[in-house]
Structure 1
Amino acid sequence: MHYTLRPAGLTDAAAITDLLNEVDRIEIGRPETDLHTVEADLKRPDVDLERDSWLAFHDGRLVAYGLLWDESAGERVDIDHYVLPEHQHAGQLLLDAMEVRALDRARSNGAARAVVHLHLNTEPTLDTGLIEKRGWSVVRRYHVLRRPVDPAVDLVPEVPSGVRLRSCVEEADRSRVHALYQSSFAEHFDFQPRGYEQWLQDVDADVLDWSLVWIAATEELGDVGFLLARNDREAMGWIRSLGVVREARGLGLGGLLLRNAFAAFAARGRDTVGLGVDTSNATGAPALYARHGMAVHFAVDTWEAVLP
């Protein structure tokens, strides 16, 4: 088959969303990609669309899409890659270009190599045998979890004595959430430190509903935990991140924040809440989510290649 390749532009967002939803239907049984999510990816400040994005067309139809970005300013580079099952050669053409570009970006950061990560559904449309031959291997597994919520059942939890929850409405509170995120996630796999302004861009601060972001504090320790959720995904309410600093773990604050989010989403008319979790998370997060009724929706593997 003959394929036409070109970079993506912002005007391609709708077509890319359609492609990703077609991949969703194959991999997880229903479309779950929103247009605004694709647009946000294309607008990332660490993406040069002319050099860091790829579209592959066959007979005028978009059949593969790739995006590359660099959060680390070092050797770590991330890519997204989507291809329809019957167009594996198009997927390989994109991988050829993306690997070259990944090494170029890492070297421009002063690194001698590129460590590239790609997240794929555990039953992906991409033939993983093709990337195994290129030296890629799985280094981590994540679960996307979901749970039904009901306003009659998921009520605002009672806050224990000595604990306080507050919504993140003031600028100072946003800064505190950033600091808590950096502290509580510092030991997590693949964590990339982010400055405050970079983090605001990551969470789409300009459009984020900050009333769905909460800080947990104790009388003894002060601000020690946070939960950042968003209500702009069509498929379900989404908990983007939940963290508690090391010295406050084991006090039940993670569960409190989680139940508070369930209640908030239920009150807003949502029927499902989801989140993603590293299955090898050492802080006990998978068990916490299981205790609160969250079940596996689908699984995602992190594939890694070290170039050259």
Structure 2
Amino acid sequence: MSDTLTVRPAGPGDAADICALLNAVDLVEIGRPETDLGTVEADLNHPDVDLATDSWLAFEGGRLVAYALVWADSGPGRVDGDHYVLPGRRRAALRLLELMEARARVLAAGVRPARLRLQLNVAPTLDLSLLTRRGYRTVRRYQVMTRRLGPADRTPPPAPAGLVLRDCAADEADRRRAHALVEETFADHFGHAARAYEPWLDHLDARRLDWSLVWIASLPAEGDVAVLLTRDDRTSMGWLSHLGVRADHRGRGIGGHLLRHGFAAYAARGRDTVGLGVDTHNATGALALYEAHGMGLHYAVDTWELTLHPQE
């Protein structure tokens, strides 16, 4: 006789158990646990998530086997979701997909076309036939890339002529400028959602952001031309979250300089690895830039999308 399946909403007190589940999934999908408790807590405390309606925990025989979450802070008609399940737990996986889709229809009510998007490892613990049979399709692939750091990386690189970097630790105006540069330089990227400053801070979980690790690059008479936003709150590696160069200043070595500056900063902090995520179809040549500076594939993620038709 199979174990009884029970489902309930998640709560802040479930963070440690959810983190353990996600690390069990990590171990299967990427070979080691890489989910931090703070990341889970940030998701559960996000101001745009109502845990009572937007989250689910699935238990079989009293054991937590699956977790899902949806949110809609990326503009009309788009709902994003997370879905994690232990291998072989098809029944729990399907039930959470059904609940996510039903809630996504509510969140996107009145908007057409409406879509639900999931990010999944290219070889996930979720049985992908559950997605394809329900009408999901892959629309993008991202690579998580990493690079090992050593003592030689601690020396900051020479800057292109006239380029000056400043961090955003002390000045709120610089933090707002960093936001503006991210919005400008990522505006044409697939999946980018324009956000005002305060919602952007919520999206970033800025409570855990060290603004001394966010840099703006400027040139004489040309002003601010690029931004590098990083964070040092992951156990496994330093993370280069956003590297953006204004379109009229690309191809001048600024992106490569910011990348190497990030390497130097994290090597000086004692980190042995840095990572970032990149859209493999990025039209700015970001993937080639990262490969040219020694970054290699850690794992890949597919974006799956479901068009949300009205409930039959």
Range into which the TM-score falls when normalised by the shorter chain: over 0.9
Q: In structure 2, what is the equivalent of residue 46 of structure 1?
A: 48
Q: In structure 1, what is the equivalent of residue 287 of structure 2?
A: 286
* Matches for 1:24-173 after TM superposition, within 5 Å: 24-107=26-109, 110-169=110-169, 170-173=171-174
Relative to the length of structure 1, the TM-score reads 0.97
The one-letter amino acid paired with 2:304 is W
In structure 1, how many angstroms separate the alpha carbons of the residues matched to 2:227 and 2:137?
33
Q: In structure 2, what is the equivalent of residue 228 of structure 1?
A: 229
CA contact (8 A) 2:11 2:44 kept: yes
Aligned-residue offset at 1:112: 3.4
1:243 aligns with 2:244: yes
In structure 2, how many angstroms separate the alpha carbons of the residues matched to 1:183 and 1:159?
23
Q: Which moved more, 1:94-103 or 1:150-159?
A: 150-159
The one-letter amino acid paired with 2:238 is G
Q: In structure 1, what is the equivalent of residue 199 of structure 2?
A: 198
Aligned-residue offset at 1:6: 0.2
Aligned-residue offset at 1:234: 0.4
Aligned-residue offset at 1:113: 4.4
CA contact (8 A) 1:240 1:275 kept: yes
Q: Output the aligned Cα RMSD.
A: 1.0
- Helix, strand or coil: the match of 1:44? coil
Deviation per residue, 1:135-183 (Å, 9 max, x gap): 0010000000000011334411112321111111210100000000000
Deviation per residue, 1:50-82 (Å, 9 max, x gap): 000000001111000000000134101000000
The one-letter amino acid paired with 1:127 is D
Q: In structure 2, what is the equivalent of residue 185 of structure 1?
A: 186
In structure 1, how many angstroms separate the alpha carbons of the residues matched to 2:154 and 2:252?
21
Q: Which moved more, 1:145-154 or 1:74-83?
A: 145-154
- Helix, strand or coil: the match of 1:206? helix
CA contact (8 A) 2:153 2:263 kept: no
CA contact (8 A) 1:73 1:106 kept: no
In structure 1, how many angstroms separate the alpha carbons of the residues matched to 2:295 and 2:152?
18
In structure 2, how many angstroms separate the alpha carbons of the residues matched to 1:245 and 1:143?
23
CA contact (8 A) 1:103 1:113 kept: no
In structure 2, how many angstroms separate the alpha carbons of the residues matched to 1:223 and 1:203?
22
Aligned-residue offset at 1:206: 2.5
CA contact (8 A) 1:151 1:263 kept: no
Which consecutive residues of structure 1, in runs of 5 or more, have no partner in the other structure? none
- Helix, strand or coil: the match of 2:164? strand
In structure 1, how many angstroms separate the alpha carbons of the residues matched to 2:117 and 2:46?
17
Which consecutive residues of structure 2, in runs of 5 or more, have no partner in the other structure? none
Q: 1:18 aligns with which of 12, 20, 28?
A: 20
In structure 2, how many angstroms separate the alpha carbons of the residues matched to 1:279 and 1:91?
28
In structure 1, how many angstroms separate the alpha carbons of the residues matched to 2:55 and 2:205?
20
In structure 1, how many angstroms separate the alpha carbons of the residues matched to 2:202 and 2:191?
19
In structure 2, how many angstroms separate the alpha carbons of the residues matched to 1:279 and 1:112?
28
In structure 2, how many angstroms separate the alpha carbons of the residues matched to 1:75 and 1:57?
31
- Report percent identity of matched pairs: 58
Relative to the length of structure 2, the TM-score reads 0.96
Deviation per residue, 1:213-257 (Å, 9 max, x gap): 000111132101111111110011111111111111111111111
In structure 2, how many angstroms separate the alpha carbons of the residues matched to 1:117 and 1:191?
13
The one-letter amino acid paired with 2:230 is A
In structure 2, how many angstroms separate the alpha carbons of the residues matched to 1:199 and 1:72?
10
In structure 2, how many angstroms separate the alpha carbons of the residues matched to 1:112 and 1:135?
17
Q: Paired residues, what number? A: 306
CA contact (8 A) 2:141 2:301 kept: yes
- Helix, strand or coil: the match of 1:134? coil
Aligned-residue offset at 1:297: 0.3
CA contact (8 A) 1:19 1:63 kept: yes
- Helix, strand or coil: the match of 1:86? coil
